[in-house]
Amino acid sequence: MEDNKLQELAPAPLAPLSVGGGRESIHVFAPATVANVVCGFDVLGFAVDEPGDEVIMRLTGKPGITISKITGDDGRLPLDPAKNTVSVSVQHYLQSVGRSDIGLDIELHKKMPIGSGLGSSSASTVAGLFAIKTLLGDDADPINLLPFAMKGEEMACGHGHADNVAPALFGGFVLIRSYEPLDVVRLPHPKNLWCAIVFPDVDVPTREARQIIRKNIQMKDAVTQWGNIAGLVSGLFMQDIDLIGRSMKDVLVEPVRSMLIPDFYKMREMAMELGAVSFGISGSGPSVFAFTKDEATARTITQKLQQHLTALKIGSNSYVSTINDAGPKVLG
């Protein structure tokens, strides 16, 4: 997808595909993502360099999809291909290109916690879709995969939002301008924007984190929110990190979801005092993230927040990265 180009998505008939493109198997990585970006609930997201999930897909020569192995999930994900978001999305894709006859085996290697707010299911689904697309030699624009990835999200949490799957698929910073019709815009971003992520080891399933948010909002809150979204998008275009920082405020969702995150406001205070540009919930949580202007500040923030969580007897992981513009990549 070209930078900044508005795309209206319609299911496009794809060219006839060969099988394998000379390969029998493929190993793909797809990145974790930070959805919402504080003020843009369901409409903004970006990809990071790490963590990410990996899929190894093999042609079997026998029609149907199997899942032979899942690692890193503590046994929580189904091996049944009818119940796993990766295989279901891949199956929808194969049907759409008229290749349900193909036989595939999938290995899924989870490299990030499930229910972390880092787009765990999206990374797996996108890795699977990118793997089958590449294996079939389908050189259509990856944007064609987005509706299939959204089906995976719908299965994972009951709602087919695109703010994790779109940045996982395209890399970079993405705006979902509209869902009906689907219209996705890739946004520029300052190259020196660093992201510090801390995952406090408590489970916050997206499905439940969506159920607790308010169904109706006040006009004055809506005005505040759309001012902030416009400010954030302007800051991204203008490479104005201070404008980005002061726009990342959420009066709609964060006040409710922050209750699910241990010491959220204390962690925010600490991150801002340590030099963060902004701080908020990653996706539906419990991961939190801060933008910073340099790597050293990002590393100090993750270290101090993790020490704080340890003192509260809460385990944690952390990741420091710039924004990942590459999206999925073939590892072998």
Lookup result for tokens 């939002």: 161
Q: Considering the complex, what minimum distance in angstroms separates the CB of residue 124 from ligand HSE?
A: 13
The binding track of 34-53 with respect to ligand HSE, each residue x by CB under 6 A or -, is -xx----xx-----------
Residue from 54, 85, 153, 302 carrying the catalytic annotation: 153
The binding track of 185-224 with respect to ligand HSE, each residue x by CB under 6 A or -, is ---------------------x--xx--------------
The residue among 307, 12, 322 whose CA lies nearest residue 146 is 12
Given the residues 206, 292, 297, 302, select the one marked as catalytic.
Answer: 206
Q: Three-state SS string across 61-74, please?
A: CCCEEEEEEEECCC
Site for ligand HSE in 275-314 (CB under 6 A): 283-284
Q: If you search the block for the tokens 């030099």, which residue do you land on?
A: 275
Least CB distance to ligand HSE at residue 252 (A): 11
- The smaller minimum CB distance to ligand HSE, of residues 59 and 209, is found at 209
CA–CA separation, 259 vs 263, rounded Å? 8
206 given a catalytic annotation: yes
Report which residue type is found at 8: E
In whole angstroms, the minimum distance from the beta carbon of 80 to ligand HSE comes to 24
Minimum CB distance to ligand HSE, residue 36 (Å)? 5
Determine the Cα–Cα distance for residues 281 and 257; give it in Å rounded to an integer.
8
How far is Cα 285 from Cα 127, in angstroms, rounded to an integer? 22
How far is the CA of 185 from the CAs of 1, 173, 198, in angstroms?
9, 9, 27
**DSSP reduced 3-state for 186:** strand
Q: CA angle 218-222-228, nearest 5°?
A: 150
Whose CB is nearest to ligand HSE?
283
Which residue in 85, 91, 164, 225 binds ligand HSE (CB under 6 A)? 164
Nearer Cβ to ligand HSE, position 163 or 325?
A: 163
Query: How many residues sit close enough to ligand HSE to count as binding (CB under 6 A)?
Result: 14
| DSSP symbols for 233-264 | HHHHHHT-HHHHHHH---SSSHHHHGGGSTTH
Segment lying near ligand HSE (by CB under 6 A), choices 22-30, 161-169, 186-194, 218-226: 161-169
DSSP structure class, residue 56: E
* Residue 302 exposure: Cα atoms within 13 Å on the Cβ side: 21
CB of 32 to ligand HSE, least distance (A): 10
> Contact with ligand HSE (CB under 6 A): which of 53, 138, 163, 250?
163
Instruction: Quote the least distance from Cβ 168 to ligand HSE, whole Å.
Output: 11
C-beta of 213 vs 314, nearer to ligand HSE: 213
String marking each residue 115-144 x if it binds ligand HSE according to CB under 6 A: --x-x-------------------------
Stretch that binds ligand HSE, among 13-21, 140-148, 160-168, 191-199 (CB under 6 A): 160-168
Q: Shortest approach of ligand HSE to residue 166 CB, angstroms?
A: 11
Dihedral angle of Cα 177, 131, 190, 321, to the nearest 10 degrees: 120
Residue type, 72: G
Task: Go through 123-159 and write b for each residue having 16 or more CB atoms within 10 A of its CB, e for each that does not.
Answer: bbbbbbbbbbbbbbebeeebbbbbbbbbbbbebbbee
Tell me whether residue 210 or residue 329 sits nearer to ligand HSE (CB atom): 210
CB nearer to ligand HSE: pick between 284 and 292? 284
Q: Which residues in this chain contact ligand HSE in the complex, by CB under 6 A?
A: 35-36, 41-42, 117, 119, 161, 163-164, 206, 209-210, 283-284
The residues annotated as belonging to the active site are 153, 206
